[in-house]
Every structure is written in C-alpha cells, then in structure tokens.
Amino acid sequence: MGNFPRGFGLALEISALDNILSLMWVLVCVVVIIALAYLFTRYVAGRGAGLLGQSGGTERFQVLARLSLGREQTLALVQAGGRWFLLGVAPSGVSLVAELTQEEAQAICPTPPDRPAPVSFQEALRAVLKQKKPR
C-alpha cells in the first residue's frame, strides 16, 4: 500500500460504510416524516376539517359554515333536514345559539353547500411537485 500506514485501507472502508449508513438513516427519517404527514392529513380529513375548517356531510345533514371565535370555540351553521341551526361549539359541549329560517341561513351562508371535496394529501403533494419541476 505504498507509504500509507498499515490498516489505513480498512479505516477508509469503515468511513465509507458510516457515510452510507448515515445517508440511509436520513432517507428513512424523511420517509417516516412524509408517511406521518399523510396519516395526519387523513386523520384530520376524517374528522371533517376540510378546507377552511368546513366539512361536507350528507344531503340531510351538513355543516354549512364555521367561524372560529377563540382557541377552541367555534360558531357553526348546521342544516339538518329542512331546519337550520346556529351552534356554539366548545370543549365543554355544543349549545344551540339560534334556530334560523331558510332565508336567515342563506343570508349567513349564501353559497350553496355543493363545493368540491377537500384535496387529498397525495393529490396536493403531486400538484406541488409539478409546480417545482426544474426548468
């Protein structure tokens, strides 16, 4: 091995192996973070917190609008069948603020509840990656 001390080649191999293991560890961490982000967004979407904190529902029961009043306090406009309710939502429970007529509910939430479903994490990630393509 020329002028190198004995065992120097082994030290280079160990150093290269350490670098490869470090790189693999970083890649595993990145994959775990992406997987956790995906699972978290699925969990949040499952709880009904779509875009802007609004959720869909069924044809007979829908949360039409939400307004955050504080850290854990929300005012929600809910349609249940042919009735509309303004509800106060807090960690201590849900309370009825007012029952509204259809006209009053439409004055508060003029847009129809037919809005597109929230975008999944996979679709959002794909859209961002398309925007970030190198030129």
Q: What residue has token string 């956790």? A: 36
User: What value does the CA radius of gyration of the chain take, rounded to a whole number of Å?
Assistant: 27
- Residue 96's pLDDT band, with cuts at 50, 70 and 90, is very high
What confidence score (pLDDT) does residue 51 get?
A: 40
Cα–Cα distance, 89 to 55 (Å, whole number): 15
Phi, psi of 76 (to 5 degrees): -125, 135
Using alpha carbons only, give the angle 24, 25, 27 rounded to the nearest 5 degrees: 65
CB-CB neighbours of 99 under 10 Å? 11
Whether residue 76 contacts residue 95, with contact meaning beta carbons closer than 8 Å, is answered with no
- Residue 24's pLDDT band, with cuts at 50, 70 and 90, is very high
Tens digits of residue pLDDT in 56-81: 555 678 888 888 888 889 999 998 88
pTM: 0.43
